[in-house]
Amino acid sequence: MPEKLVGKIKHYFSHLGVGVIELKNGVLKVGDTIHIKGNTSDLTQKIESLQIEKQQVEKIGPGESAGLKVTDHVRDNDDVYLVEE
C-alpha cells in the first residue's frame, strides 16, 4: 500500500506508551492507519485516539501536535507515514 510522509514523532512518553506526533502536512483522523519508521522503530498501527492537551480530538491538521497511544516503543524524530488504502 502507498504511504505518504505526514509528520514526525517529537517526544515519546515511555511510562504512558504515548508518542507526540507533529503533523507537517495532510490530515490524520482516528481510524487511519499509520506507519512509524526510524533507525530502530518500525511499526504499523491504526489510530485509536488522538489527544491535544488531554482533550480527545477526532483529527489533526498541518502544524498541530497530538498525543497518540502507540503499540511499541518509538523515538524522537521517527517519521510518521499515513498508509493510504
In the block, cell 511510562 appears at 15
pLDDT at 1: 81
Query: Are 49 and 35 within 8 A, CB to CB?
Result: no
pLDDT tens for each residue of 2-25:
999 999 999 999 999 999 999 999
CA-wise closest residue to 67 among 57, 75, 77 = 57
Domains and CATH numbers, the chain: 3-83 (2.40.30.10)
In the block, cell 483529527 appears at 59
Is the predicted pLDDT of residue 46 greater than 90, yes or no? yes
